[in-house]
Amino acid sequence: CRTFQRVECRTFQRVECWTFQRVECWMFQQVECRTFQWVECQTFQRVECRTFQRAECQMFR
């Protein structure tokens, strides 16, 4: 298992900045489970910031 911090910035029709902590655990080289917290910043005519937590699990083949 590994723990790391990462900052991602993405540009679509708007600008989203993601700051989060994430924990990844790999089982059988197939399952990735992530638990992380991030801040989403959206820029339109003004700046809106939201903070939320999310847990994700993905299955790989």
Q: How confident is the model at residue 44, as a pLDDT?
A: 44
Q: How confident is the model at residue 16, as a pLDDT?
A: 47
- What are 13-46's pLDDT values in tens digits? 444 444 444 445 554 444 555 555 444 554 444 4
Higher-pLDDT residue of 46, 54: 54
With H, G, I as helix, E, B as strand and everything else as coil, classify residue 45.
Answer: coil
Within 10 A of 35 (CB to CB), how many other CB atoms are there?
16
Q: How confident is the model at residue 40, as a pLDDT?
A: 52
pTM, whole model, 2 decimals? 0.16
Q: What is the DSSP letter of 43?
A: E
Residue 27: strand pairing partners: 31
